[in-house]
Amino acid sequence: MAGFKFADRPLHVIADELNDGAYSCAELSEAFLDHVAAEDGKVRAFLKLDGERVLEAARAADARRAAGQALSEFDGIPIGIKDCIVAKDETCSCASKLLEHVVSPYDSTAVARLKARGFIPFGRLNMDEFAMGSSCENSAFQKTANPRDLARVPGGSSGGSAACVAASFAPAALGSDTGGSIRQPAAFCGIVGLKPTYGRVSRHGLVAFASSLDQIGPMTHDVLDAAILLDVISGHDPMDSTSLPVAAGGFADAVRNDAGSSLRGMRIGLPKEYFTGAGLAPGVARVMEENIARARELGAEVIDVSLPHTKYAVAVYYIIATAEASANLARFDGIRYGARVEGRDLVDTYFKTRGAGFGDEVKRRILLGTYVLSSGYYDAYYLRAQKVRTLIRRDFEEAFRTCDLLLTPVTPNVAFKFGEKSDPLQMYLSDIFTIALNLSGNCGISIPGGSDFETGMPVGVQLLAPALEEARLLRAADCFMRGN
């Protein structure tokens, strides 16, 4: 990235420069396209990127700006899109051979809201197939590398989105988080990743993995950018029955108005289950100690709390998530999905798709989900897991009665090397600190907290807040980042 003009530049800074006439939208997009062409051969964040489509949208944004009709201050800024969030007339493969030729006839609500403000969808970003994985090694097409160390994984499943932002291929990206799939790769790549409250952002147009857990969120260089994008994509959507009918917006103003303030008067809880016997690597433990001390320096009162049912979170998650996945993925039978083409091409596409099938990790989870839902096992596994999920949610409710936020690690270790976690069970434990938040439906954010003293790799710090308290979460996260 040496010498790249827009390296690590936040989108709010780019917006200011565009509004000041420092460069045009077309020049901005050309710079990012050239940077991707020069560097993505090593990182492999993109599955597809239609440069002409991007430039056409950028020139249209320039024309609107010249006519005094800009859609917003962000008109003409490119945003990367994870390949399970549909955009009209673009492929949406979910990094699966099964959907390789699928072209979406409509925009997801999140993408439609971005476009309404003038943001330009910038390519299709790699991911673990159907969002099932923690390393971006399960894509059917390619493995994405961590821009901080190309021998290491970027995390998953939103690994392409995290790598895109960390490599400055775009100023921000959308990811999706089912059990930590925004926060974990954000931590591995040293960027900000926000998982909103369940229902805060519409899931319409997000290809479902586990419907009661999935949530779209932003991945950015700083907290203000995350707040800006949450302002844009959040809000009730009648197309999504799980969308919350609550007021949205004002998140960026909350961060801007609180900039430079301390954490004075805030109570931050440390869940003992995330620190005692949690298998933290020494470098991660040291960064957490530094950030706990920083919280006190910034004026917060730090207290110990307990989330006693955390020890069941991984087991509960992999029962519920796989059960929902087995139902959601039943539609992908190789018959009803293919390219939007006519005649012989459609027939050829059908046979190509039928020969592809699911990858090993997807098949593993479908089989597990089918098993726990089967006759004779439903009560023993799925129903019991739902009961424990309620206990996990109550743990959070009890903790938030005594504190405003929780401070935890994001992952036990820094980004690992390719092939290092070949055992699926070891891979699943990568999400041990992120899964419970999705089960509870609350909101959380991963922010850069420091570096591992052995490898120099980024270490993420996780802040968790009650449902619908994103404003509180973002203000505190911004304060932490300014103090780091």
Decide if 82 contacts 158 (C-beta within 8 A). yes
Decide if 328 contacts 213 (C-beta within 8 A). no
181 among known catalytic residues:
yes
Instruction: Identify the active-site residue in 29, 139, 181, 234.
Output: 181
82 among known catalytic residues:
yes
Peptide bond into 157 cis (omega under 30): yes
Name the residue type at position 34: D
The alpha helices in 356-469, defined as continuous H runs, are 360-373, 384-399, 424-428, 435-440
d(CA 463, CA 31): 34
375 among known catalytic residues:
no
Name the residue type at position 436: A
Instruction: Identify the active-site residue in 104, 135, 157, 440.
Output: 157
The phi, psi pair for 5, rounded to 5°, reads -60, -35
In the beta sheet, which residues pair with residue 409?
461
For 204, residues 6+ apart whose C-beta sits below 8 A from its C-beta are: 108, 109, 237, 239, 240, 243
Decide if 271 contacts 399 (C-beta within 8 A). yes
Instruction: Identify the active-site residue in 29, 82, 104, 108.
Output: 82
- Nearest residue to 95 (alpha-carbon basis) of 57, 131, 44: 131
- Nearest residue to 77 (alpha-carbon basis) of 195, 229, 231, 185: 229
Task: Please return the burial class of 13, using the count of CB atoms within 10 Å of its CB with bins 0-12, 13-18 and 19+.
Answer: middle
* Residues tagged active-site: 82, 157, 181
